[in-house]
Amino acid sequence: MFAAATGWLEKSSADIDALNVFPVPDGDTGTNMLLTMRSTIEEAYRAPDRSAAAVAQAMAKGALMGARGNSGVILSQILRGLAQNLAAKESFNAADLASALQESSVMAYKGISNPVEGTMLTVIKDVAKAVAAEVASNGRDLVSVMEAAVNAAGESVANTPNLLEVLREAGVVDAGGQGLHTILDGALRYLRGEMEQMRFRKPQIIITDLHATKLPQMIAADEVPYGYCTEFLLKGEKLDTDKIKKKLEKKGESLIVVGDDSAARIHIHTLEPGDIIAYASSLGTLHQVSIRNMDEQHQDYLEMQKAKGPAVDTAIVAVVAGEGLADVFTSLGVTAIVPGGQTMNPSTKDLLQAVEGVASDKVIILPNNKNIIATASQVQSLTEKKIEVVPTTTIPQGVAALLAFDYEADLEANISIMARAISAIKTVEICRAVRSAKLGDLQIRKKQPIGFLDGDLVAVGESALEVLNKMLSKLDLNKIEVITIYYGDDTKSEEAEQVASDIRNRYPQLQIEVVKGGQPHYNYIISIE
């Protein structure tokens, strides 16, 4: 069953590698899991007998000895839990398998110093919960249990971006979780007797419905060194894995120490690999030592991204603040998001990094703020790429420009098209005053809701709804068709829906849309078109 799963994993190991969105060292997750499984199966065929216990124990040993990378070591723990639960069993049934998978989850978490949800740890935990429920209800055969496992793994992998920010920003699922799903899926297909079909098919990579909000280069844009991915097999006598883990916890990140009193697999990301090696050498002999420079890995990754060549004829870089607004812009085709906006203007360097990072020689920049237009205009002098700035001063103008973009038109034509589109948009922005003031006829108290129309302060009131209604009364709504309300990070969805409902009641001829923008500072950014 696991031999078939290994062959199934091999077909998609490169695709799983590609899920790594920035050089999470161990960025070859699919390859690491495949090499770990190969070692697992090689040792399985050396089992002293054909009992389930002997084969599972041999697999666990093979996995520990051959574990590669963070994902491989966690996988070895999953197989170790399986073996521990099947100890002394000649064979196993559905209930035994469900129980073994629960033990796998426990062992996987046990080996990690700082477990992170949204990874393969979460996937095995969700699998364990699902198979237990299946057996408790009506699961009496291995196929039904494995079907429950695969379905749960698929759902869990698809949910990983909601649990781990770096995945959400990149718009991908967790690579290790995907690898585990593929292994379980291969095992299920073997149990169903689908070996012949597996020869001509390929595993499915689970796709998230989230859109990337940052490019890989941007996610890793800080200059903090990654250090060295250090891993090895330690052999000795009376090894205490808990003591070793405690000793190394403050020596680096992503620490995993697993094994028994005679052999332990150690994995750590550290700036001082020599200290780790010296300490481990005092406990026993080291084998399969691997020390990789993760900063070089990062540079190789960036070079690989550039080597892919232009993926689009014209790339679009937009300055956006707020998770919801970033989702809106990426869904409309933006290639790269630069975080920023009011009170947090990005630098020329920030914009240049994004421009250089996109896979196109022609780039349109949408500043979406009047204070960023001049900065964006400086980028052309710093790059050989062709840069055009569409002078959007608000988020709604940026959205309008994107909606007008014509993929079949050339760069010059699109600049003209987008410029015309932004002139047809009115923008209302509502926030709270940071201080008391008197501007013209407006007397403003600190923290009082105030409203801007296309950048000009025109209204003040006791509530955001009152301010909005004052502003709408100043417009010729006979020419308006759609109002889109983007509500901010400090605004509750219920309040936004109530505002929208009130507008619908007052102006039934208008189409009103509500979107969670998540932007800071502004309670509401409203597009009127």
Q: What is the pLDDT of residues 446-483, one digit of tens each?
A: 989 999 999 889 999 999 889 988 888 888 877 888 99
Residue 217 located in a structural domain:
no
User: Sign of the CA dihedral 264, 267, 270, 273?
Assistant: positive
Answer with the residue of higher pLDDT: 172 or 318. Answer: 318
Q: Does the structure show a pLDDT above 90 at 63?
A: yes
394 in the same domain as 447: no
434 and 419 in a common domain? no
Q: Rounded to an integer, what distance in angstroms lies between the CA atom of residue 260 and that of residue 180? A: 24
Give the CATH number for residue 58.
1.25.40.340
Residue 228 CA to residue 234 CA, distance in Å, equals: 18
Q: Could you give the dihedral angle defined by the CA atoms of residues 31, 36, 41 and 44, in that order, rounded to the nearest 10 degrees?
A: 180
Same domain? For 57 and 165 the reply is yes
26 has a pLDDT exceeding 70: no
The answer to the question of residue 67 being in a domain is yes
> Looking at residue 208, what DSSP letter applies?
-
CB 481 within 8 A of CB 529: yes
pLDDT at 307 over 60: no
Q: Is residue 225 part of a domain?
A: no
What confidence tier does 524 reach under pLDDT thresholds 50, 70, 90?
Answer: very high
Question: Which is more confident, 353 or 122?
Answer: 122
- Rg, Å, the chain Cα set: 28
Of residues 176 and 113, the one with the higher pLDDT is 176
Structure tokens at 158: 């698809």
Has residue 12 got a pLDDT over 80? yes
Local structure of 528: helix, strand or coil = strand
Please give the pLDDT value at position 221: 42
pLDDT of 21: 53
Q: Is the pLDDT confidence value at 5 over 90?
A: yes
Looking at the structure, tell me whether residues 84 and 205 fall in a common domain. Answer: yes
pLDDT at 379 over 70: yes
419 and 437 inside one domain: no
The pLDDT assigned to 198 comes to 81
Domain end point (choices 423, 441, 463) = 423
The total of structural domains in the chain comes to: 4
Instruction: Looking at the structure, tell me whether residues 125 and 11 fall in a common domain.
Output: yes
- At 25, the pLDDT band (50, 70, 90 cuts) reads very low
- The residue out of 268, 298, 328 marking a domain boundary is 298
Q: What percent of the chain has pLDDT above 90?
A: 54
Higher pLDDT: 344 or 254? It is 254
Identify the pLDDT of residue 129: 96
The pLDDT, as a whole number, for residue 222 is: 45
41 and 173 part of one domain: yes
Residue 34 maps to a domain: yes
Find out whether 230 and 291 touch, Cβ atoms under 8 Å.
Answer: yes
Q: What is the pLDDT of residue 391?
A: 95
132 and 21 share one domain: yes
- Tell me the mean pLDDT in the region 222-248: 85
Amino acid at 23: P
C-alpha–C-alpha distance, residues 441 and 452, integer Å: 15
Same domain, 324 and 448: no
Q: How confident is the model at residue 284 (pLDDT cuts 50, 70, 90)?
A: very high
- 48 with 189, same domain: the answer is yes
pTM of the model: 0.55
Tokens of 303: 């070079």
Check which CATH number belongs to the domain holding 369 and give it. 3.40.50.510
What does the pLDDT read at residue 69? 83
- Count other Cβ atoms within 10 Å, centred on residue 498: 12
| pLDDT for residue 209 is more than 70 | no
Average pLDDT, the chain: 87
Among residues 379, 399, 423, the one where a domain terminates is 423
Instruction: Output the pLDDT for position 394.
Output: 94
pLDDT of residue 485: 93
Helix (H) / strand (E) containing 290:
strand 285-293
The answer on 316 and 287 residing in a single domain is: no
Q: Which two tokens stand for residue 366?
A: 């949408």
Length of the chain (residues):
529
Q: What is the pLDDT of residue 68?
A: 87
Residue 397 binned pLDDT confidence (cut-offs 50, 70, 90): very high
Distance CA 402, CA 325 (A): 13
Backbone phi and psi for residue 367, each to the nearest 5 degrees, phi listed first: -70, -35
Which structural domain range is residue 241 located in? 231-298
Largest alpha-carbon pair distance within the chain?
Answer: 91
Q: Which residues contact 71 (CB under 8 A, 6 or more apart)?
A: 26, 29, 32, 33, 36, 120, 175, 176, 179
CA angle (307 as vertex; 305, 311 as ends), nearest 5 = 75
Mean pLDDT of 369-382: 92
222 lies in some domain: no
Confidence band for 195, pLDDT divided at 50, 70 and 90: confident
**Does one domain contain both 98 and 122?**
yes
CATH number at residue 503: 3.30.1180
